[in-house]
Amino acid sequence: MPYLIKDTDIRAAIANCTQAKTLWLDTEVADYQTDKPRLSLIQVLEDASDRKGDRVFILDVLEKPKLVAEFIAEIMVNPAIEKVFHNAQYDLNFLGKKKAKNITCTLELARKIPYYLVPLPNFQLKTLAEHLGDFPSIDKTEQRGNWGYRPLTPNQIDYAKMDAVYLAQVHQRLLQLAYPDPAAEDIEALTLRYRQIEDRWQQLDTEVQQLKERLKAAMQAQNCSQINGFRLSSQTRTTKKVAFKHLVRVTQALGFDLDLSVQLTKEIQQKLGNLMTELPIDEEISTSWRLLIEEWEEQEIPF
């Protein structure tokens, strides 16, 4: 696990990385609570099969904007290299922002996986790693540690190293769970599975629904805004409206250029009647699909 401090070493590592097809990347940031956060470390892993972190490169780039710029120019902007991050958005703030190309975000990936497959309380990288990567419970105390002091403690370096490993493991596992190809689905099997769980689901769903409604009403009635993690909140909002004729009158009188169109609902169309033909009407046609499910009687298989 090379921890690189010298400029020449870091340059060599960057050059080496430009050959990779996929890189798993993480960063550590100092002074993140201030308005001038500083990039402290860039962790790079080329080999997803490394579960110990022996092959993670830790680039120490604190106060080295030139090397960071080089990293961005050589790697981040290069569309030929896939760069994987967790919550990529955050790291990209320091690594090229919108100029970065070919970015994969494991947080986005994880959120697309249905809850029943990955029933986790949150999608923090550590949580995903514990559950999907089969890592023992992970210590997160370093996350809020001070990444602006040097030298870093061995514990910090180890933590930084393992982040890249977790990322690669989680990424690979998420890909396995990702969406199946609709063209290759077994529709018959899907309908059978649906029927299998339909009854249980209906029971649970209707009960959950009712519990929510009863709680909402009860908490309102009993003036209880918070209990056992259930919170009742209310918000008002104001919608402003104006009679159409006033809008027309004012905008015309003042020569006000209001470039908007009005949606012709069924009601308005009826009122307009023949006038419809006089108007330059824009039509937008969209198609929506929906699934209808008929009731099911248990069918005996005849012999």
Give the residues lining the site for DNA (CB under 7 A). 26-29, 32-33, 35, 40, 86-87, 89-90, 107-108, 111-112, 122-127, 143-144, 147, 163, 231, 233-235, 237, 239, 263, 265-267, 286, 288, 290, 292
**CA geometry: angle at 175 spanning 169 and 179, to 5°?**
155
122, 189 in Cβ contact below 8 A?
no
Cα gap 9→46, rounded to integer Å = 17
Closest CA to 45 of 169, 203, 165, 201: 165
Count CB neighbours of 130 within 10 A. 17
Pairing verdict, β 82-85 and 22-30: parallel
Nearer to DNA, 137 or 263 (CB): 263
Nearer to DNA, 223 or 233 (CB): 233
Query: Minimum CB separation from DNA for residue 97, in Å?
Result: 9
Element holding 22 (H helix, E strand): strand 22-30
Query: Minimum CB separation from DNA for residue 197, in Å?
Result: 18
Query: Minimum CB separation from DNA for residue 303, in Å?
Result: 35
Nearer to DNA, 50 or 142 (CB): 142
82, 102 in Cβ contact below 8 A?
yes
Nearer to DNA, 176 or 286 (CB): 286
Scored b (16 or more CB within 10 A) or e, 191-210 reads eeeeeeeeeeeeeeeeeeee
Query: Minimum CB separation from DNA for residue 280, in Å?
Result: 18
Nearer to DNA, 183 or 291 (CB): 291
Query: Minimum CB separation from DNA for residue 253, in Å?
Result: 26
Q: In what order do the strands lie in the sheet with 3-4?
A: 3-4, 57-60, 38-45, 22-30, 82-85, 103-105
Nearer to DNA, 186 or 207 (CB): 207
Query: Minimum CB separation from DNA for residue 110, in Å?
Result: 9
Query: Minimum CB separation from DNA for residue 290, in Å?
Result: 4
Nearer to DNA, 8 or 263 (CB): 263
**Which phi and psi (to 5°) does residue 134 adopt?**
60, 40
66, 10 in Cβ contact below 8 A?
no
28, 85 in Cβ contact below 8 A?
no
